[in-house]
């Protein structure tokens, strides 16, 4: 196949009369740049874009190689579709095995938090310092710092803030990103209401896929990385439902651990987690729990959306 004569049906069957290798190499270079940027930024948005880019590179690159060596006579678009399906199946298998390994591992599903007195609560990178300034400018004051041990020397660190009338708590969770060593920040906002509900709004990009108590109304917005936008969305949820916020006077660390224990027990009762006496044989997650986790992981990775937590 001569370069000058190469025809490639990429988008909706529209012919392109130039060598598609140029686009493939350009996409590969862009993917490498995004990967390098995200080692520092740890942005789920950049990661999502790069996943779609890699998927496209694999599909079109594989099809181009087969056509270039004249190994098959099938249309380019059909070969690209086949390679795209192979990518989906391969990633599905990889993610399913990773979820199974996590279910069998000793990594805590609901870790216990302790006061963080190590002085390592807030990273010193500029983007995190700007976030802290935005928190203060939004009228929140620091309430507590805590951490939970994950594995080895890795900890999840959490800083809790509260507004002036104590009706809204802001939780900033710092997650270590292996293997790059970067740090990602997750913003969570929580408000108790007079009718006994707890409104939770966050932008976590990690799959949860489990269940929350009936009086918890959880909305996850992984693409909403701005603190201001997330606060505005949270407040609009309360206003839309005519909710009256009430002060949250519980100790933040004690409240966090109480929630962890209660949610774990709920997920055992609803079949997401296996009972303790069955975990050695089946792992901590049931088949239904592993499927829900895989489904949400795919939705977060490629659609930027979390499941509805019902």
* pLDDT in the model for residue 22: 84
Q: Note the pLDDT tens digit of each residue in 29-82.
A: 999 999 998 887 778 889 999 999 999 999 999 999 998 887 888 898 999 999
* pLDDT in the model for residue 217: 95
Q: Note the pLDDT tens digit of each residue in 159-169.
A: 999 999 999 99
Q: Note the pLDDT tens digit of each residue in 242-288.
A: 999 999 999 999 999 999 999 999 999 999 999 999 998 889 999 99
Any idea where the domains of the chain sit in the sequence? 3-104, 114-303
Q: What is the mean pLDDT of the chain?
A: 89
Mean pLDDT of 200-214: 93
* pLDDT in the model for residue 26: 92
Q: Does 310 or 118 have the greater pLDDT score?
A: 118
Q: Does 203 or 5 have the greater pLDDT score?
A: 203
Of the pLDDT bands very low, low, confident and very high (cuts 50, 70, 90), residue 119 is low
Judge whether residue 179 has pLDDT over 80. no
Mean pLDDT of 230-245: 96
Of the pLDDT bands very low, low, confident and very high (cuts 50, 70, 90), residue 9 is very low
Q: Report pTM.
A: 0.85
Q: Note the pLDDT tens digit of each residue in 289-307.
A: 999 999 999 999 999 888 7
Three-class SS of the chain: CCHHHCCEECCCCCEECCCCHHHHHHHHHHHHHHHHHHHHHCCHHHHHHHHHHHHHHHHHHHHHHHHHCCCCCCCHHHHHHHHHHHHHHHHHHHHHHHHHHHHHCCCCCCCCCEECCCCCCCCCCHHHHHHHHHHHHCCCEEEEEEEEEEECCEEEEEEEEECCCCCEEEEEEEEEECCCCEEEEEEEEEEEECCCCEEEEECCCCCCCCCCCCCEEEEECCCCCCHHHHHHHHHHHHHHCCCCEECCCCCHHHHHHHHHHHHHHHHHHCCCECCHHHHHHHCCECHHHHHHHHHHHHHHHHHCCCCCCC
């Amino acid at each position: 196949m001569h370069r000058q004569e190469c025809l490639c049906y990429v988008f909706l069957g529209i012919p392109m009369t130039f060598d598609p290798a140029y686009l493939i190499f350009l996409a590969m270079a862009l993917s490498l740049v995004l990967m390098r940027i995200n080692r520092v930024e740890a942005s789920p948005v950049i990661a999502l874009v790069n996943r779609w880019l890699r998927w496209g590179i694999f599909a079109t690159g594989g099809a181009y190689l087969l056509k270039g060596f004249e190994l098959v006579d099938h249309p380019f678009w059909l070969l690209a579709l086949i390679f795209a399906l192979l990518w989906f199946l391969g990633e599905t298998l990889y993610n399913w095995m990773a979820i199974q390994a996590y279910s069998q591992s000793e990594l805590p599903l609901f870790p216990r938090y302790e006061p963080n007195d190590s002085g390592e609560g807030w990273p010193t990178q500029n983007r995190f310092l700007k976030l802290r300034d935005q928190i203060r400018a939004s009228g929140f004051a620091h309430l507590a710092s805590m951490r939970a041990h994950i594995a080895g020397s890795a900890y999840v660190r959490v800083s809790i803030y509260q507004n002036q009338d104590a009706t809204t708590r802001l939780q900033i969770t710092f997650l270590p990103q292996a293997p790059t060593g970067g740090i990602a920040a997750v913003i969570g906002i929580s408000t108790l209401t007079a009718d006994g509900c707890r409104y939770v709004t966050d932008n976590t990009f990690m799959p949860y896929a489990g269940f929350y108590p009936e009086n918890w109304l959880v909305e996850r917005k992984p693409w909403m990385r701005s603190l201001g936008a997330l606060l505005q969305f949270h407040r609009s949820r309360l206003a839309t439902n005519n909710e009256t916020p009430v002060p949250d006077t519980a100790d933040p660390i004690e409240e966090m651990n109480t929630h962890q224990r209660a949610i774990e027990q709920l997920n055992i009762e609803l079949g997401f987690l296996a009972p303790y006496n069955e975990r050695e044989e089946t792992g901590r997650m049931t088949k239904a729990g592993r499927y829900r986790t895989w489904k949400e992981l795919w939705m977060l990775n490629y659609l930027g959306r979390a499941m509805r937590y019902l």
